[in-house]
Structure 1
Amino acid sequence: MHGLILSRLPLENPPELTRKEKALRAAFIDVLEAQSTDLPFPNLINSIYGKKGYQPMLVQKFFSDQQLQMLSDYLDKAVAHGLDPEQFYVTGLKYQLDEVIHQKSSDTVRIQRGLAKLELAVVNSLIRYSMAMQYGVTNPAKIYSHYATPTLIPDSNSVIRIFEIVNLKIYLDSIQPKGKTYLALQKVLKRLDADTTENKDSVKIIMRQKVVVNMERLRWKNKPAEQKFVSVNIADFSLDVMDKEKSVLHMKVCVGEPGDKQTPQLGSIIHSVQINPVWNIPQSIARNEISRYASDDRYYLSNNNIKVFKKGKPVRDPEAIDWSAIDVREYSFQQQPGVKNSLGKIKFLFKNGSSIYLHDTPVRSVFKRGMRAISHGCVRVEKPLDLAFALFGKGERYDQLKRGMESSYPRAKFMGLPRPVPVRLFYYTAWLNDRGGVRFGQDIYGLDQLVYDEMQKKQF
């Protein structure tokens, strides 16, 4: 390495620089300005180098013991993560590294320009790779129209940490995803890529894409910080109560139909339940279903314990109304607690912008179906009492809840959880089964292609 160029320059706006130091500084600034449009967070990077006198920082630390060659090796292995190494500009990094290694000029300014190009190639590749491993290469909030899950994205601190790395290999190893599902998907991807058949069949192509997409989903930082949370996999029609990364309760669920009734991906906090809930029927359901049923059967409303209101006032004789001839928007409908209530005997409440909640159902046969995307958007749970026990725990409050659900005279009652529990509604089309193998599910909402297409674009 060229010790003359890599000797540290004065920091933080030195009062005077020698002519040579000014020339070296100007060379670095010139290269930085020329390449700024290709860099992530260019203004922040410029600020960092400005505070250090516009001189190479990472090359100083990592060149002598061949850590930069090792970095290019890690980038080449990005294929093991379902990513194209060129997303991290690996070819450009190798070229600039080779240029510096074989530099024969004695012109210090020219040498400085070469070092600056290598420095920025390292910064560019390392930041992009680091962010990809820790956050994914896409932002789900920009991909999905139904996504309200708190998800961390790279920020200025992510960039600053890059310049604080001491040992590059230790750092690169530390950011590799290590979850069980992720590692299992990596093994599947390796087997698929090892198939050298020129004309791979469409099934394998789709499978590989599904693996790549779900690895990306697993890189998103959207899981709660708490050790215990409720996890719903919409595409698997399943719910798990997770505690210390292990499922302590598993059950089937029903989710929203494809289209405008699909269950959104979201994250929130379950704060309370309503025992023997009252169902305030959404206007869309009232207009498209309830009024039609009432039109066909004049006793449908009373038989299903549904009260009718007009401008907030009870309607005493809804059977007398010709529901096929009136404007349903003037009415509201409320199903009272009881065995026919569509929400069953309990619903689990959490704040969200889509009026989504978890709830019981009086129709138990639906859980025998394989395809359970059948609801209006909310999530019907197979074992509501077990879920309540997992959230409340053993004690008088749970016993009170159970007695309320079992009562022959159901009355609606709210109960707050002893401790609020996070809930996440995810969408994974590949997951681990009970034996630790990978299972592939149906892409019920057609979301895999959206993620895959976005992954092909340059990010950051």
Structure 2
Amino acid sequence: MIKLFPAKKIVAPFLIVAALIITFQSCKKKRNETATFFFKKTHNKIYQDYTPEGFAAVFKNTLLSERHNLKHADFIANYYKKNHYEPQLVMAHLFNGDLLTVSNYCLKADEHGLDPQLFKAQALRDLMYKFALEKNTKSLDSAYRAIAKIEIAASSSLIDYSNALQYGVINPKTIYRRYFLATKAADSLGMVRIFRINDMQTYLDSIQPRSPQYLVLQKALKDKYEAPGRSGEETRRILLVNLERLRWRNKPFEDKYVIVNIPDFFLNVIDSGRSVLKMKVCVGQGRNMDNANTLVAYNDSCRIDKPNDHETPLLNSLIHSVDVNPIWNIPRSIANKEILVEAAKDRYYLSNKDIDVYENDKLVEDPEDIDWTKITKENSPYEFKQKPGADNSLGKIKFLFNNKSSVYLHDTPAKSAFYRSMRAVSHGCVRLGDPQGLALNLFGQGEKYNTIAEDMAGDNPEPTTIYLPKKVPVYITYVTCWADEEGKLQFRNDVYGQDIVLYDHLQKLLHPIKSSSQQVAKR
């Protein structure tokens, strides 16, 4: 009997050969299509010798030499490697004028308070003009380099411009130490979109910020508006930093939420786009409360965010419950700086303030017997808790939400601070001008709210925790310029110096080598 070879051993060589033939024909077809494309567009016969391999070699070298000028060099390099170094943007958008449209939009970036230099708009335009002037080049290598430079410049400009308008040019998490707001940043999935654009004009229009707030600030910038009591240059800089804040993807998206704007010293409850409750608040002490440093005159130490120990952090979370007649677990930082000092002055200070003392989680029966003059923050074994009552620093109610900074919204017995215009006076939490009004808004009329109202009014306070029927988002933000409901621009002082930090970083994008001292000297 003659033993036959297994079928797979006979078919396999044919499959391999067939695959090679198909691949060769596919590459040849692709090469012919690209060569034909450029020949038809330029009428230059040198493109008949165009090869993907030859272009890829030149593209890689060009990319290597331009890499230091690219903000997203790794993404661009990886994308083109995966796509065989094809000049996609040039082929799709150069000869129909789309890339000129890109440069036109980038050149008008100053309408957004951004310098066109950030997007190298003029460099892209110059490359396109040079390519048009040299369309009859006799060197294929020169043609490759020209196409590669335009492709790289176009991808970089499009990515940077798209990201800037949709996400901002500064990541707030990198410049602020107490920034905990959920903020979406540009990612590779979003950047890939620029290679899939069909209608460039439609795309560029679609990414223009359209919020009413943004448009009002943008118009004020264009019209060179000057705020009352501020110079034109200071107004311009305030508009610049707040336009950048509006580009950050950290805005509330829920129908109903609580929002605190630190420089404004106000809380609003927003429901379906309208403020349904507004009240004064006190926020944490800042490093620029006397407004000694402004955007047109600040010292070198203000360039980097060095927050006051008591500054209220920027964050978002969900209010889940309230403590009525709360116990105040006094933070060690406050205990060391204030409680120990006061106890050393007056041995009855603690009992007068209804403050219990604990050592190793055990209540100290007679804290008056302790010689507080010998207790320091270095050797103190004690913890302090203030009982519910009229003197409790948290007042009658506090609103709880998860956060890393141990802050909350709360009542206060110190009502006089609400009559001040500058209300950055707390240790970091947010004191409420109308805490019971906030409770009514969040809980609504009913059994839970009635319990809250009765317990807050009671003479013998007992701590009670009551959970909201539905968690409510809370946002603590920092905005120094916005349009009110009538469209009038409102300005607030930079109590935490965060405008200065942001402005200085915006300037560094354009002048990375220039020292800050040189910048300040010119102001």
TM-score (norm 2): 0.79
Structure 1 residue 134 corresponds to structure 2 residue 166: yes
Alignment of 1:24-173 (within 5 A): 24-102=55-133, 103-173=135-205
* 1:229–1:242 contact (8 Å) kept in structure 2: yes
Which residue does the alignment assign to 1:218? 246
Counterparts of 1:298-337 in structure 2, within 5 Å, are 298-327=347-376, 329-337=380-388
Partners of 1:5 and 1:159 in 2: how far apart?
29
Paired residues of 1:231 and 1:241 also in contact (CA < 8 A): yes
User: Is 2:403 aligned against 1:372?
Assistant: no
SS of residue matched to 1:344: coil
The match for 1:452 is 503
Specify whether residues 403 and 5 from structure 1 end up closer, same or farther in structure 2 by C-alpha distance, changes over 3 A only: farther
Deviation at 1:317, TM superposition (A): 2.1
Unaligned runs of 5+ in 2: 1-32, 40-48, 287-307, 511-523
- Cross-structure match for 2:490: 439
User: Per the alignment, in what secondary structure is the counterpart of residue 239 of structure 1?
Assistant: strand
**Distance change in 2, residues 1:245/1:176 (3 Å):** farther
Preserved contact between residue 226 and residue 232 of structure 2 (Cα < 8 Å): no
Q: Which residue of 2 aligns with 1:203?
A: 231
Q: Is the 8 A contact 1:233 1:427 kept in 2?
A: yes
In the TM superposition, what whole-angstrom CA distance separates every residue of 1:92-142 from its partner, at most 9, and x where no partner exists?
111111122222325444323212211111111110011111111111111
Aligned length: 444
Please give the alpha-carbon distance, in whole angstroms, between the structure 2 residues aligned to 1:45 and 1:443. 38
**Which segment is superposed worse, 61-70 or 342-351?**
61-70
What amino acid maps onto 1:384 in structure 2? P
Give, in whole Å, the separation in 2 of the partners of 1:194 and 1:234: 23
8 A Cα contact 1:55 1:116, kept in partner? no
| One-letter amino acid of the structure 1 residue matched with residue 386 of structure 2 | Q
2:472 maps to amino acid: V
Q: Answer whether contact 1:5 1:108 (CA < 8 A) is retained.
A: no
- Aligned twin of 1:401: 452
> Could you say which residue in structure 1 is the equivalent of 2:21?
none
One-letter amino acid of the structure 2 residue matched with residue 336 of structure 1: K
Deviates more, 1:28-37 or 1:96-105: 28-37
Partners in 2 of 1:172 and 1:194 — Cα distance? 30
Match of 1:344 in 2: 395
**Is 396-405 or 226-235 further displaced after alignment?**
396-405
Cα shift at 1:432: 2.3
Deviations 1:205-243 (A, max 9, x none): 222111101111111112244332221111111112223
2: CA distance, partners of 1:97 / 1:88 = 15
For 1:395, the aligned partner's letter is: G
* Structure whose alpha-carbon radius of gyration is higher: 2
Given that 2:262 and 2:479 are in contact with CA atoms closer than 8 Å, whether structure 1 keeps it comes out as: yes
Q: Per the alignment, do residues 419 and 135 of structure 1 end up closer, same or farther by CA in structure 2, a change over 3 Å counting?
A: same
- For residues 135-178 of structure 1, what are the alpha-carbon distances to aligned partners after superposition, in whole Å with 9 as ceiling and x for unaligned? 11111111112212221111111211111222112111111122
Check 1:312–1:41 CA distance in 2 against 1; reply closer, same or farther (3 A cut). Answer: same
Query: Partner residue of 1:12?
Result: none
**How far apart are 1:346 and its partner, in Å?**
1.0
In the alignment, structure 1 residue 388 sits paired with structure 2 residue 421:
no
Q: Which residue number corresponds to residue 191 of structure 1?
A: 223
Label 1:47 to 1:72 Cα distance change in 2 as closer, same or farther (>3 A).
same
Query: Aligned match of 2:284 in 249, 252, 256?
Result: 256
CA shift, 1:288, in A, is: 2.1
1:3 CA displacement:
7.3
Could you tell me how far apart the structure 1 residues matched to 2:225 and 2:34 are?
44
3-state SS in 2 of match to 1:75? helix
- Assess if the C-alpha contact under 8 Å between 1:5 and 1:111 holds in 2: no
Equivalent residues in 2 for 1:390-429, closer than 5 Å: 390-429=441-480
Moved more, 397-406 or 342-351: 397-406
Say whether the 8 Å CA contact 1:276–1:405 is kept in structure 2: yes
What code does the residue aligned with 1:40 have?
K
Partner AA of 2:54 in structure 1: A
CA distance in 1, matches of 2:198, 2:106: 19
Work out whether residues 28 and 55 of structure 1, in 8 Å CA contact, stay in contact via their aligned partners in 2: no
- For 1:117 and 1:88, the matched residues in 2 are separated by 15
Paired AA for residue 151 in structure 1: T
Residues 278 and 334, structure 1, Cα contact 8 Å, conserved in 2 = yes
User: Given that residues 34 and 50 in structure 2 are in contact (C-alpha distance below 8 angstroms), is that contact kept between their aligned partners in structure 1?
Assistant: no
Q: Secondary structure at the match of 2:224?
A: helix
1:6 to 1:359, Cα distance in 2 relative to 1, 3 A: farther
CA contact (8 A) 1:275 1:413 kept: yes
Q: Aligned Cα RMSD in Å? A: 2.5
| Residues 57-94 of structure 1, C-alpha deviations (whole Å, 9 max, x = no match) | 12222223322222112111111111110011112111
What residue identity is the alignment partner of 2:383? Answer: S
- Unmatched 5+ residue regions in structure 1? 9-17, 196-200
How far off its partner does 1:408 sit? 2.5
Residue 433 of structure 1 and its aligned partner are, at CA, apart by 2.8
Q: Structure 1 residues 454 and 396, CA, compared in 2 at 3 Å: closer, same or farther?
A: same
1:249 aligns to what SS in structure 2? strand
Given that 2:179 and 2:315 are in contact with CA atoms closer than 8 Å, whether structure 1 keeps it comes out as: yes
Between the aligned residues of both structures, percent identity stands at 45
Distance in structure 1 (CA, Å) of the matches to 2:432 and 2:226:
41
CA, structure 1 residues 97+227, in 2 after alignment: closer, same or farther (shift >3 Å)?
A: farther
Q: Which moved more, 1:351-360 or 1:40-49?
A: 40-49
Instruction: State the 1:336 CA deviation.
Output: 0.9
Displacement of 1:435 after TM fit?
A: 2.4
Write the letter of the residue equivalent to 2:256: K
| SS class of match (1:334) | strand
Confirm or deny: 8 A CA contact 1:343 1:359 kept in the other structure.
yes
Using the TM superposition, give the Cα deviation of residue 6 of structure 1 relative to its aligned residue in structure 2, in angstroms: 4.1
